[in-house]
């Protein structure tokens, strides 16, 4: 495979997932990490890969303003392109930008009915229809299972997969199966889950669920200076 072709492969595929989509249409994916370890940067790389493959990405941020999220995308894209031998770099950013729509909400303002209405408005006005939805900053508390069950028909009706960033804490213990406690009540609803951890070896990405290979068989690392997933 030419080096340029690898640029269009989802970097998480190397964890043992069958294809570049990682999460099927109508399915759920989760990226778990402690604060500041790289949830958003990894999620943006997954989003950029989807955009480069022609898929439309709706990024919903419950923490950061549009300007900050947009900067994440632009900087990560420039870093990705600079490390690869791409024959048509000129105009590539402008060509993929229409594939992304950023929506910001305060944490307390998020609800499934509100999201459903926003998506309908975007579709009715022929503005945007996502293939991938990212919900960044949703609180995974005792109500999360109910929220995800409400989101399931929305994902199916829009033929979109939904990714969540999940904030875990250093002091929290795992459940009896070794899973982060945030996944205990929703494990059956998740199609794919990855964990980002800062260890002595550096920042590592491990698969918790999904794909054909057993969890923990493959491990990826993150360059701490750029936060790019290493090849």
User: Does the residue 193 lie in any domain?
Assistant: yes
pLDDT, one tens digit per residue, over 23-51 is 999 999 999 999 889 899 999 999 999 99
Question: Who wins on pLDDT, 1 or 13?
Answer: 13
Per-residue confidence (pLDDT) for residue 85, from 0 to 100: 64
Place of tokens 């990212």: 134
Per-residue confidence (pLDDT) for residue 212, from 0 to 100: 74
Which residue range is the domain that position 8 belongs to?
A: 3-222
Q: Residue 173: pLDDT band by 50, 70, 90 thresholds?
A: low
User: Does the residue 47 lie in any domain?
Assistant: yes
DSSP E strands, the chain:
28-33, 57-61, 100-104, 132-136, 161-167, 192-199, 202-209, 219-222
User: Does the residue 192 lie in any domain?
Assistant: yes
**Vertex 222: Cα angle to 217 and 225 (nearest 5):** 165
Count of structural domains within the chain: 1
Q: What is the CATH number of the domain that holds 65?
A: 3.40.50.300
User: Does the residue 31 lie in any domain?
Assistant: yes
Residues 27 and 183: their CA atoms lie apart, in Å, by 15
Model confidence at 2: pLDDT above 50: no
Q: Residue 3: pLDDT band by 50, 70, 90 thresholds?
A: very low
DSSP E strands, 74-186:
100-104, 132-136, 161-167
Joined tokens for residue 217:
């068989």
Q: Residue 81: pLDDT band by 50, 70, 90 thresholds?
A: confident
Coil, strand or helix at 126: coil
pLDDT, one tens digit per residue, over 189-226 is 999 999 999 888 899 999 999 987 777 678 999 999 99
């Amino acid at each position: 495979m030419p080096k340029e072709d690898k640029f269009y492969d989802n970097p998480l595929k190397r964890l043992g997932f069958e294809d570049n989509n990682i999460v099927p249409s109508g399915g759920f994916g989760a990226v778990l990490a402690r604060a500041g370890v790289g949830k958003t940067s990894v999620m943006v790389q997954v989003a950029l890969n989807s955009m480069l493959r022609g898929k439309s990405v709706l990024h919903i941020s419950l923490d950061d303003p549009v300007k900050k999220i947009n900067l994440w995308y632009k900087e990560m894209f420039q870093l990705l392109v600079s490390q690869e031998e791409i024959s048509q770099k000129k105009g590539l950013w402008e060509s993929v930008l229409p594939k992304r729509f950023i929506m910001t909400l305060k944490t307390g303002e998020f609800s499934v009915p509100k999201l459903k209405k926003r998506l309908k408005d975007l579709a009715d006005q022929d503005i945007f229809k996502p293939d991938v939805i990212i919900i960044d900053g949703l609180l995974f508390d005792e109500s999360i299972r109910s929220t995800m069950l409400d989101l399931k028909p929305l994902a199916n009706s829009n033929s979109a997969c939904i990714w969540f960033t999940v904030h875990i804490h250093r002091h929290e213990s795992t459940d009896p199966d070794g899973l982060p406690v945030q996944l205990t009540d929703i494990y059956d609803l998740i199609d794919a889950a990855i964990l980002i951890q800062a260890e002595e070896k550096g920042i590592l990405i491990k698969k918790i669920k999904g794909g054909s290979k057993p969890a923990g068989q493959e491990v990826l690392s993150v360059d701490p200076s750029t936060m790019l997933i290493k090849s």
